[in-house]
Each structure stands twice: as C-alpha cells, then as structure tokens.
C-alpha cells in the first residue's frame, strides 16, 4: 500500500532523516509518534511532495512518487497548519479540490458538512475561520474524496467534542471501506484509542513499528514510548 525505503533528508549539514523504512498495509491505521525534532513532519512532507528527499524511494499502490499526478491522487494530506485563500468560501474550495480528484458526491459532502456541524459556516470565507474550523473543512474534504491513503499531521488539533466524534465515526467507515491512514500525533492516549499500529521515529530513524495490541501487552502506550525513547539515549 504505502512503502518507504531508505528515506534520507538533509538541511545543510544536518541529517534529519537517516534512512527511514516503513510499510503500511491496506486498512492499517498507523500512529506516527516521536519527540519534537525527530523528523515526523519532514517525513510526511517528503511523502506528500512538499519536500524533496535526498535519497530513497516512496511508493503508494505500486505508483512511485516520480509519477507526480497519478501518485498524488492516491492520497490526501491534512497538514498541521492549513494555508487557505482568505476570500474563498470553504464550500467552493472543497468543490474545487474534489474536481482535482475527479470526485462528485454531493450527498456524501452534505452529510459530512452536517456531521462536523459546519452547516452555518461552510459558505463563509475561509479567512474568517478559526484553526479548528479549518481542520473540520480539511477533514470534510478528505472523507468526501476517500482516497486509498489519508495522511494527517495532528488531525485532532483544535477540534471541538462534536468534531472529534465525527472524526472517529468517519475514520471507522473509511477503514471499513478499505482505506489506510498515517497520522502524526503527540497525543498518545488518542493514538491508543484509534490506531491499529504505532511507528516510533527517533533521531531520523524508525526504531519501532508494531501492532498496538502487542505493544499494550507491555503496558500503556505512554510507558512503551518513554522506554523506547530512553533506550540507547
């Protein structure tokens, strides 16, 4: 489904990614965790094309990153900070993005707008939106498109309780439909409730990729995380 081999990235002389190896299977919900500066966001940016990697290979559904447009239609990315055109309504923006993915499903879009409580604000300019509202808009877009892979950087940031419930319900439906999720988070309790597996990035390398079920046999996720972070520190 999603395969990363020997991914390397430098900024000047600083080697951020030192040969990241990761493979996600269809239907996997992978929580991507690690300390600040470990390289999580850089990894996501390399996967999604926001950054050029220096070495290695990234493939989704047997389509390499070099096959630009075809590759990008295999995923949808929600970054931690969402940049928008301030004067465009969220509804018009979502409709535009759907055309890029060749998706047209007004019924599904309307249902998601309602689920995330955006009926009264979806036609307003995005420049008037709060941080949380921008994330709702992005999640509505993502679940309407329903691509093979969803990639998210801290997707629950800024969400109100209603939106968190909608996020979980939509995630369940998306996975049951064959979707695959990679999301970065600092919230280990959230990862513990949502993920099927966990990958830990430390100093630019994956030091752990294991099913949540197996990890929880060792204790809670916070305990496992602290032990792995301390190992060979």
CATH number of the domain within which 204 lies:
3.40.50.300
Residues of the domain holding 98: 49-211
As for how many domains the chain has, the answer is: 1
Question: Is 225 part of a structural domain of the chain?
Answer: no
Question: Is 21 part of a structural domain of the chain?
Answer: no
Q: Say if residues 144 and 98 touch (Cβ distance below 8 Å).
A: yes
Question: Is 1 part of a structural domain of the chain?
Answer: no
Q: Say if residues 79 and 131 touch (Cβ distance below 8 Å).
A: no
Instruction: Please say whether the dihedral angle defined by the alpha carbons of residues 183, 188, 192 and 196, taken in this order, is positive or negative.
Output: positive
Q: What is the pLDDT along the chain (233 residues), one digit of tens a residue?
A: 899 999 999 999 999 999 999 999 999 999 999 888 889 999 999 999 999 999 999 999 999 999 889 999 999 999 999 999 999 999 999 999 999 999 999 999 999 999 999 999 999 999 999 999 999 999 999 999 999 999 999 888 889 999 999 999 999 999 999 999 999 988 788 888 889 999 999 999 999 999 998 888 877 788 777 777 665 44
Question: Is 135 part of a structural domain of the chain?
Answer: yes
């Amino acid at each position: 489904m999603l395969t990363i081999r020997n991914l390397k990235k430098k900024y000047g002389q600083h080697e951020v990614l030192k040969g990241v190896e990761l493979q996600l299977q269809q239907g996997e919900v992978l929580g991507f965790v690690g300390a600040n500066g470990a390289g999580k966001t850089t990894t996501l940016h390399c996967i999604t094309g926001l950054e050029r990697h220096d070495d290695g290979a990234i493939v989704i559904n047997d389509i390499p990153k070099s096959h630009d447009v075809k590759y990008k239609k295999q995923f949808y990315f929600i970054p931690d900070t969402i940049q928008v055109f301030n004067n465009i309504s969220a509804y018009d923006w979502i409709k535009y993005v759907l055309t890029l993915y060749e998706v047209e499903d007004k019924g599904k879009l309307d249902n998601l707008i309602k689920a995330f409580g955006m009926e009264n604000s979806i036609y307003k300019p995005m420049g008037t939106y709060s941080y949380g509202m921008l994330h709702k808009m992005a999640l509505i877009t993502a679940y309407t498109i329903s691509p093979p892979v969803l990639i998210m950087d801290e997707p629950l940031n800024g969400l109100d309780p209603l939106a968190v419930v909608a996020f979980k319900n939509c995630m369940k439906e998306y996975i049951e439909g064959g979707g695959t999720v990679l999301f970065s988070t600092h919230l280990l309790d959230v990862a513990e409730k949502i993920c099927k597996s966990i990958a830990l990035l430390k100093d630019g390398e994956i030091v752990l990729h294991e099913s949540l079920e197996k990890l929880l046999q060792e204790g809670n996720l916070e305990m496992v995380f602290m032990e792995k972070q301390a190992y060979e520190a």
